[in-house]
Structure 1
Amino acid sequence: MPLLSIVVAVDKAGGIGVDNKLPWHLPEDLAHFKRVTSGHAIIMGRKTFDSIGRPLPNRRNIVITRNRDWSHENVLAVGSLQEALREVIGSPSFIIGGAQIFAESLPMVEQLIVTEIDKTFDCDTFFPRPDPAQWVETARETYYSEANACDYAFVTYTRRL
């Protein structure tokens, strides 16, 4: 299992959110996210934590924030991505957002676990398409969402050596 992965859901245009919220409701993706991340550390920015509203159970919740006074029960608050990564050395861990944390961690991660939603939503935040020169698709499971009337896929990309 790779030590550091990004887990993200994107629409057809690479959108990942609007007004600090998910623009879709895809229960299958939430279940997939839970299966993938349970029992491991999840690293996120404070705004992502605020959008979730609580620590996620059965995971080590690590929140990156510039506010040294910020704290929350059952959450480890750190001041930088580097500090978060020092906390998880040697353990499989997942970067779960937001856009700034994704951008900062992208050069360091070994794997992308992407839910690709075959529909465009109104988004104000985006995730870059995996560059084929750097990433190879290693797994794809395709499904259909009745609730969103669209196809979606759970796709794994592995960094090229």
Structure 2
Amino acid sequence: MTITLIAAAAENNALGKDNQMIWHLPDDFKRFKQLTSGHYIIMGRKTFDSLPGMLPNRTHVIITRQQDYTAENCIIANSLEEALKACPQDEEVFIIGGGEIYKQSLPFADKIELTRVHGTSPEADAFFPEIDLNKWELTEKVYHPKDEKHKFDFTFETFVKNTGENE
């Protein structure tokens, strides 16, 4: 299993506020859809609740502490470990949030697909964990300037976990 964290975070790692994303970036949504379609997506209950509905062509795995929680056509898990066990072991699985789930899953992750939104968001209440560049290597970087559809400059960044020892 390849575990990939996928997120959009500001330069101060801000993800969102009041269970909502802080920005609207259509190209980020397109990339998210392209990367996650056909895969299992793991998320916390609050992240699931914030979605506009079921994301098409993806299997939703929801982590919640609520023992009696149900969601139609979704897999419910009470821990990250349980969520990972519910996914195919020979496929790429995406962790899509929120902040606490990212933090828990970072040690298990193989890859991070991050949309780095240039600027900071001081009012955020959810944050992406700090990426330790001794453990992660930036392998791809694609910059997008702001335009009529995007109020912010942003960069698609791909990180892979270092497998060897750093000298």
TM-score, normalised with respect to structure 1 = 0.94
- Alpha-carbon deviations, 1:19-66, whole Å to 9, x = none? 110011111111110001000000000000001142211001000111
Paired residue for 2:19?
Answer: 20
Shift of residue 148, structure 1, vs aligned partner = 4.2
Paired residue for 1:63?
Answer: 62
Contact 2:26-2:150 within 8 A present in 1 as well = no
Q: Secondary structure at the match of 2:144?
A: strand
CA distance in 2, matches of 1:148, 1:36: 20
Structure 1 counterpart of 2:152, from 147, 150, 153: 150
Deviates more, 1:86-95 or 1:140-149: 140-149
CA distance in 1, matches of 2:119, 2:150: 8
Dislocated runs of 4+, deviation >2 Å? 147-150
Paired residue for 2:31?
Answer: 32
Shift of residue 130, structure 1, vs aligned partner = 1.3
Deviates more, 1:117-126 or 1:143-152: 143-152
Q: Secondary structure at the match of 2:154?
A: strand
Aligned length: 160
Contact 1:63-1:75 within 8 A present in 2 as well = yes
**Could you say if the C-alpha distance between residues 53 and 150 of structure 1 is closer, same or farther in structure 2, counting changes exceeding 3 Å?**
closer
CA distance in 2, matches of 1:156, 1:117: 14
CA distance in 1, matches of 2:34, 2:150: 21
2:136 corresponds to 1:135: yes
Q: How does 1:35-46 map onto structure 2 within 5 Å?
A: 35-46=34-45
Q: Secondary structure at the match of 1:95?
A: strand
Root mean square deviation, CA, Å: 1.3
Shift of residue 152, structure 1, vs aligned partner = 0.6
Listed as ranges, the gaps of 5+ residues in structure 1 are none
TM-score, normalised with respect to structure 2 = 0.91
Contact 1:17-1:125 within 8 A present in 2 as well = yes
Amino acid at match of 1:86: K
Amino acid at match of 1:120: T
CA distance in 2, matches of 1:93, 1:143: 26
CA distance in 2, matches of 1:54, 1:68: 22
